[in-house]
Amino acid sequence: MEKKSIEFLVIFILMILLMNQFCMFQCFAEGLMDIGGWKLIESKERLALWQKGGEDFISEVILNLSTAIGSEMLRGYTVKKADKILLSDYMNNNKYTAIWKIIYKGYDSSGNIYLELVREKDDISTAEQNRIIKEIEKISSLTGDEKNIIEKRLDLYDYILSEFLEREGMDIVVDPSRTVIILSINCIPPLKIEVNRKNSVINVLLVDMK
C-alpha cells in the first residue's frame, strides 16, 4: 500500500511539473512572438505564419526560420538560392544568388495591392558576392530564442544587404482575386509574386477587410 502511495505521489508531482513547464512555454511563446506589430499565428517545423493587422487590412507572411538560404522574408527582405543548386555549389561560388526588398505601397478601392520590388545591383563583384555569403553564414549561425534570432537577422539585412540593392525598384500590382487569407500552414495558398522565371516571392498577402 505504501509503495502504491509513493508511486502515485511521484506521478502526481511529475504531472504538476509538466503542466507548469507547458504553461511557462505558452506564456513565453505568446509574450515573445510580437515583432514590430507582426504576430506569430502558427509554427510548424521550419515554417512560421506571421500576421500584421491595421484598421482595415491584414498582411500575412510565411517565414522560414531555420534555413540559411532558401527564403527569408520580414520587412520585405528576401535572400534566395536558386532551385536545384546544392549548398556545396553555393559555397564554392558556382551559384546564383538573389537579393530583393519588397516595399508595400498601398492598395486601391478594388483591393489591388501595390508593391515596389527592388532588385540587387547588376555589378556585384566576386568579392562582394563572397561577403554576402559570409553574412548569410553569420545569419544562419545565430542562436537564442526565436525573437532574438529574427531581430538579429533583420539588423544584418538592413545593415549589409541594403548596400547591394538598386536605388529604384519595379512596380508590381497584385490582383486581389488571386489572394486568400492563410488559415493554416497545412493549407498554404498558391499565390506567388513572380520576380523572374527562376524566382518568386511566396505568400505575401494584404487583404482589404472593409
Same domain, 128 and 28: no
Same domain, 21 and 47: no
Same domain, 128 and 176: yes
Q: Which three cell numbers stand for residue 85?
A: 543548386
Same domain, 105 and 187: yes
Same domain, 13 and 43: no
Of 28-37, 100-109, 123-132, 181-190, minimum mean pLDDT range: 181-190
State the angle between helix axes of 146-160 and 126-140 in degrees (0 to 180), rounded to the nearest 10: 170
Same domain, 111 and 15: no
Same domain, 27 and 81: no
Same domain, 67 and 164: yes
Same domain, 50 and 71: yes
3-state secondary structure the chain: CHHHHHHHHHHHHHHHHHHHHHHHHHHHHHHHCEECCEEEEEEECCEEEEEEECCCEEEEEEEECCCCCCCCCECCEEEEECCCCCHHHHHCCCCCEEEEEEEEEEECCCCCEEEEEEEECCCCCHHHHHHHHHHHHHHHCCCCCHHHHHHHHHHHHHHHHHHHECCCCEEEEECHHHCCCCCCHHHCCCCEEECCCCCEEECEEEEECC
What predicted TM-score, i.e. pTM, was given to this entire model? Answer: 0.44
Model pLDDT, residue 51? 67
Mean pLDDT of 16-38: 44
Mean pLDDT of 131-135: 76
Of 117-121, 144-148, 177-181, 206-210, minimum mean pLDDT range: 206-210
User: Domains in the chain: how many in total?
Assistant: 2
Same domain, 124 and 70: yes
Same domain, 81 and 20: no
Residue 29 has pLDDT above 70, yes or no: no
Same domain, 136 and 74: yes
Residue ranges making up the domain that contains 6? 1-32
